[in-house]
Structure 1
């Protein structure tokens, strides 16, 4: 059994990690300002309130974390990501802040040069210059290289002419566009002297000082959405809009007055991926905030489950606390363990962002992009599943707006598709695994990828004798404690990844010039599985590393149990694969399920301490079923009904 005296406060310190001071700063700011959710307002009022809250947040100084020191910021990209994560209780504010400071401001920092920084950054940080990030188009969301908007240079006037050539090229779902944005970072095909140089970004004014659309700019409101209605998403059309040459964000590509194009990166494909890679912070922020929303949902559901009673226990004289039922533990506690696992994986990712941002290591940058893509996909899917599970676990109470879960569900649903569609992101992860992201393979196309993958895997098939020994070690294990052996769990995850990659490589070897698309398309299921199992391994390794660095033996013990629950519940979910590929025996499969049940029972008494250790700001926990108000009312009513039965 777990030591009942583990220190939840000390565990919170471990979870707060390297950016503990940032987390405390945001908690303090939330206690000093009214930044609460405004979902009860009509659309216009909600948008106005969110803008007001954005400006309150700007005054706190927190948004400056990710901006350069030379322009009034702190130069702390990791702290910037963590600060957004702490806004999980007001996701409209989080998204608007992410658009303003992460996407709009981040693009000016990453793609612009000193004169852009000097002119714009202070006004962006203060929210005096509300902006947009205009990348997505109606016809092209994931395929950014094929965007239709054009920016054609006119040497006679030294201006770029930004134009929407057809309906499918309109900018779509753009945050801050419908109401508040004054300038947009517009991604467009850069054309000089009749030659296209690929997608680049320009600063384009979209509203004047009075709030009216600029000449040649047409803006439409996307209208009500399923959630996030404090964010004013809109569509933008450009009709031959002229902007000065200096508005080109020219870190990676510049145009001289006479129209001559130059770039420090010769390859158009490499240049494109380098530009996009600098914007990875937004994707990492979405992953962190999704994880934080799932934590909030779990705290609501677990607090209610620890107070709500249903059905008499024979001889006990009172109804059973819902969380005492194994079925209820099964719904919530594996999700809690996974939230811990993803928390530590996110922490490693944010640290990598901070380290890569201070160096010039292309390989490290590509590994960061791949890991960010995978964790964003896995964490947003986890949030969607977990919040729905929590809603169901709270019954009808979970469906009431006041209990927050319905709002969390609506607001996080789009996270699975914005900042990168999850399915496309997993393909990016798989490509990184198969090609090792070598420079010459950017933009190589399906056939080139397939041929390279084939070359990589010829002669690199897993040694069958080694694989056989691992399989025998797994199948022959007869002691139940073996499945709680961390080495066994890690080997199982690692072996699954190696086997899936090996099989994918052999499938792609069949590609030729004539059938490349069909071969790759027919292997899509395999591609996505390769990415998923890779991320599973990384997440488990991050959890193991966190347990190892925990110095308090009481906290290490409970983290060890949570890590077991994460590993074994993941194995249980993919039990069919492990059985089909003889990585576990049927007897082992049953033992895994028994162990998951036992771990749920051991962790159940500590569930509330474990969710409180996340340190979610108390301002966000408003649900009556979580604060005790609703359950107290129900218990009082129940006692009254028993004492005063109907005639």
Structure 2
């Protein structure tokens, strides 16, 4: 008979359970190191990269034709597991096999695959993903580096026109990279065709910069000092025409440009859409680091004692304090919720890679990836800080690991997309879908749409009256009604989005930017409400498919805590819009308190179910 912890772990492991456990076993073979000087840390990371390559870690997501396994979803899961270990190793693996190798795979042709992917997988060819520039980070479409085709020589001339156009924060650039995927404005025949990717050698076999290539070290960072981030500049560097990754845009020997994708904007977003795996991977890795911090903090909270209980003389275990439960257990519930949402997203990525994907579904995938990355990395930043504080001064010591997690994950909120910008992209996608459903209706169609909305609200509120009645009468079990919770999330999302659409509809061509800019708080709220609803639905689905009755009952309570703590965090909106009365708002907080107390005995089991290798949790506070 499977015990409850194992049942939880089986559910968490999900579709890629065998791969996940194999990756955990491999991670368990990596000997943890702490507080190495920067150069020693970089050398250790490179050595461990070669160990991972020898054990086949990078093969998962690459094409079968080049010796890989063709499992795109599995590649994200195996990367996610590395988040339990040294995060510099995880990030360098992401640069080499996710970004650099992924760009060659997604943007190149079979000729590029055959030529470069075997060396990328084996670490014989360390490389860089050179997109971000000093002057342009999120605004990729307006990068300033140029790749100008010279038909006389059959070469591209890659050039950095000014300081703001240098490639910045590039992983693998400062020390180990030999080849870079450089994103540049493609120019041929005097005409610019937008951003494309060109393979540019940056070092010779002895590790020296090649002629025309300037390489600088970014220097010490707040964290991730085992990753050799650098800056790249190019002074009219020439590369063969074959070095253009030309799946979506090709240049003939005479300079004629062609593309299977019509329109510069559509082509740009198609190319960037193929790289969505990196964003999904960051969300998963942030989740792993957060789980590790929670495991450390909860283990410590079960041991640490402070102040005596009146009448007994015994010191109290700090996790018995409601304030401490309030710190850690809602965050743990959110980590479970985000885990299941991440699993659904990885499935969607995997299915999209395996077949034809229409524009609408691709937009939905990219939007969900953007939203979950933003929410997951913000959750990591907040929760790891909370765990640090929950461990007091001990949490500030490097030997207890949480300080390192805090430093190493801080950048997650801005790489692979600044979180605020990503939520704007989510809102844009929601508005596009809203317009598709509403914007093209004729006047009579609009009347019918508004009428349908009104009828829907009446039906919804009628169905909820019995629950609301119990709430008014003081019964807290109504708050635990899953249908009521889902309706609150759905209603908030719909109301916020409709209000945003009405605000933006007032804009004219002359003031469109100002109207949109003035609604930014509304934009971000709409995106966050959408992501919260998606995450809750993923959690509910996971609870429903849990086969073990005891594990399902526990998860059901964790799901309640996620739902109600999310509502509590946005109580102002629910109160302002009449979804909660003041009395019901107080009842939500009381229910969160009761759920925290009820889950306190299960806290250790919930973090143990993550299956984190014990070697990577070895710290004095857990001994």
- Is this a same-fold pair by TM over 0.5? yes
CA distance, structure 2, for counterparts of residue 62 and residue 556 of structure 1: 33
Q: Which residue of 2 aligns with 1:561?
A: 557
Distance 1:455 1:384, change over 3 A: farther
Verify the 8 A CA contact 1:178 1:222 in the aligned structure 2: yes
Matched, 1:463 2:453: yes
CA distance, structure 2, for counterparts of residue 186 and residue 457 of structure 1: 49
Structure 1, residues 90-142: CA drift from partner, whole Å, max 9, x if none? 10000000000000000000000011000000100001100000000011000
CA distance, structure 2, for counterparts of residue 618 and residue 271 of structure 1: 47
Matched, 1:75 2:70: yes
Q: Is there any run of 5+ residues in structure 1 with no aligned partner, and where?
A: 442-449, 629-647
The partner residue of 2:10 within 10, 13, 22 is 13
Q: Which residue of 1 aligns with 2:107?
A: 111
Distance 1:44 1:221, change over 3 A: same
Distance 1:457 1:573, change over 3 A: farther
Verify the 8 A CA contact 1:457 1:505 in the aligned structure 2: no
Q: Which residue of 2 aligns with 1:645?
A: none
The partner residue of 2:385 within 388, 408, 425 is 388
Shift of 1:467: 2.5
The partner residue of 1:408 within 390, 405, 410 is 405
Verify the 8 A CA contact 1:299 1:612 in the aligned structure 2: yes
Matched, 1:311 2:304: no
CA distance, structure 2, for counterparts of residue 7 and residue 242 of structure 1: 61
Shift of 1:454: 13
Distance 1:186 1:457, change over 3 A: farther
Q: What pairs up with 1:85-100 in 2 under 5 angstroms? A: 85-88=80-83, 89-100=85-96
- Secondary structure of the equivalent of 2:82? coil
CA distance, structure 1, for counterparts of residue 444 and residue 431 of structure 2: 8
Q: Which residue of 1 aligns with 2:154?
A: 158
Q: How many residues align?
A: 611
Distance 1:455 1:336, change over 3 A: farther
Provide the TM-score with structure 1 as the length reference: 0.92
The partner residue of 2:267 within 265, 271, 278 is 271
Q: Is there any run of 5+ residues in structure 2 with no aligned partner, and where?
A: none
Shift of 1:469: 5.3
- Secondary structure of the equivalent of 1:250? coil
More divergent stretch after superposition (81-90 vs 191-200)? 81-90
Distance 1:464 1:411, change over 3 A: same
CA distance, structure 1, for counterparts of residue 562 and residue 402 of structure 2: 23
- Secondary structure of the equivalent of 1:204? strand
CA distance, structure 2, for counterparts of residue 497 and residue 133 of structure 1: 36
The partner residue of 1:256 within 252, 255, 260 is 252
- Secondary structure of the equivalent of 1:463? helix
CA distance, structure 1, for counterparts of residue 45 and residue 157 of structure 2: 33
- Secondary structure of the equivalent of 1:66? coil
Q: Which residue of 2 aligns with 1:45?
A: 40
Q: Which residue of 1 aligns with 2:19?
A: 22
Q: What pairs up with 1:162-561 in 2 under 5 angstroms? A: 162-362=158-358, 363-436=360-433, 460-461=449-450, 463-468=453-458, 470-471=460-461, 473=464, 475-478=468-471, 479-561=475-557
Verify the 8 A CA contact 1:86 1:617 in the aligned structure 2: no
- Secondary structure of the equivalent of 1:86? helix
Provide the TM-score with structure 2 as the length reference: 0.95
CA distance, structure 2, for counterparts of residue 357 and residue 520 of structure 1: 34
The partner residue of 2:57 within 50, 57, 62 is 62
Shift of 1:619: 2.2
Structure 1, residues 232-261: CA drift from partner, whole Å, max 9, x if none? 001100000000000000000000000000
Q: Which residue of 2 aligns with 1:122?
A: 118
CA distance, structure 1, for counterparts of residue 482 and residue 288 of structure 2: 27
CA distance, structure 2, for counterparts of residue 144 and residue 86 of structure 1: 29
Structure 1, residues 547-593: CA drift from partner, whole Å, max 9, x if none? 00011110100000000000000000001100000001111111111
